[in-house]
Amino acid sequence: MTLTSPIRAHLVCGGRFHDFDYARLQILRLLADDERIRTTVSGDYSDLCSIRAADCLITYTCDVRPTAAEQEELARWVSSGGRWFALHGTNAALDLTPQGVSAPRVIPVLAETLGSQFVAHPPIAPYEVRVTRPDHPLVAGLSSFETTDELYLSELHGELKVLLHAEFTGEATGFIESSWPDPLMRPVMYLHGVGEGEVLYLTLGHCRGHYDMIPAMDYWPTVDRGSWESKSFRTLLHRGVRWMTRSEELS
């Protein structure tokens, strides 16, 4: 029998307006498929001891705003060689106002580290995700696919290697920054180098249950699973975990 060292992963999963119980369970099941991975879990970034000790980091959050010190620590961790697989709303800070949802620029170091900050999304509806770099191992062999999810319209930071993208021009109804008239490529999955390390960001993965919109509303009428029911999304998650654990084969 060949003995190998365990891979120490840390999962941050928590925030607002999403079914974090569902997402946390799905991610932990995915990590458990690799017997080498031993995972610690937190709902925010305050457990810096676990983050410092981790070989890799995976996050699924929304409106979790690390302190200035936590942002700097995350930047140092990646820059020193860490790999961070960031999912969905990790780059989001949201304020609910009478005029609509705003995206305050209050996480500057986090946004620079991640390579983006969420600003808005159009109403949830089916859209096409296109393969930008079909030769890259993370997306090799995948075809364009349709999903029903939040199409992220983000402020971008630094150089990004875009692997998947969508196209959108129009109105992001309900958001303060609602007008998006420019025909730009909207990154869906990208790599962003930070020093000796790297971030892999995948914007897909919205999920929501009946009680996840509190305090905006007491009861949401549907249970939304979106991309989690997509075979292509599951493939991307699997490859993302293989990437962050530096496994030789991504497929």
Distance CA 43, CA 240 (A): 21
Confidence label for 2 from pLDDT (cuts 50, 70 and 90): low
Closest by CA to 245, choosing from 200, 211, 202, 209, is 200
Q: Where are the alpha helices (DSSP H) in the chain?
A: 20-32, 48-53, 68-79, 108-114, 231-244
Distance CA 33, CA 7 (A): 13
Lowest-confidence pick of 13-27, 55-69, 236-250: 236-250
The pair phi, psi for residue 29, each rounded to 5°, is -60, -40
If you search the block for the tokens 């979790």, which residue do you land on?
Answer: 64
List beta partners, residue 129.
145
Is the confidence at residue 3, as pLDDT, over 70? no
SS3 assignment for 33-83 = CCCCEEEEEECCCCCHHHHHHCCEEEEEEECCCCCHHHHHHHHHHHHCCCE
Confidence at residue 251, expressed as pLDDT on a 0 to 100 scale:
67
Nearest 5°: the CA angle 208, 109, 67 is: 70
The residue ranges of every structural domain in the chain are 7-244
Average pLDDT over the chain, rounded to an integer: 96
DSSP class of residue 133 equals -
Is the confidence at residue 108, as pLDDT, over 50? yes
Structure tokens that stand for 126 in this block: 């089916």
Structure tokens that stand for 140 in this block: 């090799």
Nearest 5°: the CA angle 75, 76, 77 is: 90
Task: Give the tens place of pLDDT for each residue, 7-43.
Answer: 999 999 999 999 999 999 999 999 999 999 999 999 9
- Spatial contact of 170 and 184, defined as CB atoms under 8 Å apart: no
- Spatial contact of 236 and 143, defined as CB atoms under 8 Å apart: no
Is the confidence at residue 1, as pLDDT, over 70? no
- What CATH class is the domain 7-244? alpha beta
Closest by CA to 70, choosing from 42, 103, 109, is 109
Percentage of the chain exceeding pLDDT 90: 95
Taking residue 122's Cβ as centre, other Cβ atoms within 10 Å add up to 20
